[in-house]
């Protein structure tokens, strides 16, 4: 959709990335790192200052500890962490439960390792999980469950009750939970992020994946990390060592310096809530229906009052004829091709959001 948006000079609210720059302070830290000798391989798990800074963040936010050297690994974005976790644990015929619509990198990684994806459908408008269905899908073959909160593409979040249910259903099993928390710092309306590390029985069997690109407005840097108890991290690193070994060192040093000030991530929810509220206020009288996103920088809009076209057709037409691009929700969903929802990214300047709203109000 980004390519189509470019071709038709459309406002691009499709792919998830900001159209504004990272804090100059962070760019300065990275530049300084490059100028002061951080230009050779980082240690395999990551630069020790960055590992320490990440561990400190877990202590500060969730009052829980991950050992910086043994339980945290810096990765080339969350995508590489997710692929590597799946590669390290999923073998032929293992089953992996995912919740659809789902972020697009889970299923292919499972398939390439000859695992079997077990999709559980989440339904509009709430997209909440029916735990009775999860219970019915868990079997001796279940190797892993992948959760994602705040959730791309729906913008929903898991509650404490959800996590307790997951804990109950997987108690006394070896099921690994991959908790994709790349939007942990983008959560609205005073809700608090339910990180899997807050649930000790789950933490023992879980990986958390995170993305600096989402948090510090630089998706093009492809920097992220994952954490897990030591026994799981040992297995992770057996793959990580050979599919990347270590990641961009000057950026690690720059990020380590930048993380010293917690307000730099703590203020992100407020920043994006203003953007969500602006966007929704501007389109409240349009023919699109919505439930405000609870987290992420995506807003799902229901277009069923406008057309009976399928979402892919409508998204393409919007881009070509109306010059605005969004992602059709069915692309996150192998089994549901009849969606009437589009995902709009509001990580954009207020100016861009105003221009976008002007178009959407005319449709």
Question: CB of 126: closest distance to ligand PMP in angstroms?
Answer: 18
List the one residue from 12, 211, 273, 340 that touches ligand PMP (CB under 6 A): 211
List the one residue from 10, 78, 318, 326 that touches ligand PMP (CB under 6 A): 78
15 binds, among ligand GLN, ligand PMP, none (CB under 5 to 8 A by kind): ligand GLN
Question: CB of 169: closest distance to ligand PMP in angstroms?
Answer: 22
Strands 95-100 and 116-121: parallel
List the one residue from 80, 152, 273, 286 that touches ligand GLN (CB under 6 A): 152
Among 177, 97, 96, CA closest to 130: 97
Question: CB of 73: closest distance to ligand PMP in angstroms?
Answer: 14
Nearer to ligand GLN, 2 or 304 (CB): 2
268-282 vs 350-362: helix crossing angle, rounded to 10: 30
**Site for ligand GLN contains 119 (CB under 6 A):** no
On whether the CB atoms of residues 78 and 180 are closer than 8 A, the answer is yes
List the one residue from 16, 150, 250, 328 that touches ligand GLN (CB under 6 A): 16
Residues with Cβ within 8 Å of residue 198, at least 6 apart in sequence: 62, 64, 163
Nearer to ligand GLN, 118 or 345 (CB): 345
Q: What is the rounded CA–CA span in Å between residue 348 and residue 267?
A: 17
On whether the CB atoms of residues 348 and 19 are closer than 8 A, the answer is yes
Count other Cβ atoms within 10 Å, centred on residue 167: 17
List the one residue from 71, 107, 180, 184 that touches ligand PMP (CB under 6 A): 180
Total number of residues shown for the chain: 363
For residue 293, the SS3 value is: coil
Q: Which positions lie near ligand PMP, rule CB under 6 A?
A: 16, 77-79, 103, 148, 152, 180, 182, 211, 213-214, 219, 222, 224
């Amino acid at each position: 959709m980004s390519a189509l948006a470019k071709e038709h000079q459309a406002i691009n609210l499709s792919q998830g990335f900001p159209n504004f720059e990272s804090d100059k302070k962070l760019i300065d830290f990275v530049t300084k790192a490059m100028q002061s000798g951080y230009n050779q391989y980082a240690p395999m798990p990551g630069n020790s200052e960055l590992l320490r800074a990440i561990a400190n963040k877990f202590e500060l936010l969730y009052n829980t500890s991950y050992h910086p050297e043994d339980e945290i690994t810096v990765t080339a974005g969350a995508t590489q962490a997710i692929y590597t976790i799946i590669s390290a644990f999923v073998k032929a015929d293992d089953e992996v439960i995912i919740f659809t619509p789902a972020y697009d990198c889970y299923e292919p990684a499972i398939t390439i390792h000859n695992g079997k994806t077990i999709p559980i459908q989440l339904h509009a408008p709430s997209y909440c999980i029916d735990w009775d269905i999860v219970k019915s899908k868990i079997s001796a073959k279940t190797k892993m469950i992948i959760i994602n909160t705040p959730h791309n593409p729906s913008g929903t979040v898991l509650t404490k009750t959800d996590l307790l249910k997951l804990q109950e259903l997987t108690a006394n099993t070896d099921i690994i939970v991959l908790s994709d928390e790349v939007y942990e710092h983008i959560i609205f309306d005073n809700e608090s992020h339910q990180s899997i590390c807050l649930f000790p029985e789950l933490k023992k069997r879980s990986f958390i994946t995170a993305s600096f690109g989402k948090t510090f407005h630089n998706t093009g840097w492809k920097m992220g990390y994952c954490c897990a108890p030591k026994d799981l991290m040992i297995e992770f690193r057996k793959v990580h060592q050979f599919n990347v070994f270590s990641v961009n060192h000057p950026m690690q040093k720059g990020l380590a310096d930048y993380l010293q000030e917690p307000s730099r991530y703590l203020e992100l929810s407020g920043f994006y809530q203003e953007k969500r509220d602006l966007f929704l206020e501007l389109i409240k009288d349009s023919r699109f229906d919505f439930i405000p996103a609870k987290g992420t920088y995506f807003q799902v809009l229901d277009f069923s009052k406008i057309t009976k076209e399928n979402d892919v057709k409508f998204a393409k037409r919007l881009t070509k004829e109306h010059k605005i691009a969004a992602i059709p929700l069915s692309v996150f969903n192998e089994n549901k091709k009849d969606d009437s929802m589009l995902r709009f990214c509001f990580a954009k300047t207020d100016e861009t959001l105003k221009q976008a709203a002007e178009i959407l109000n005319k449709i």
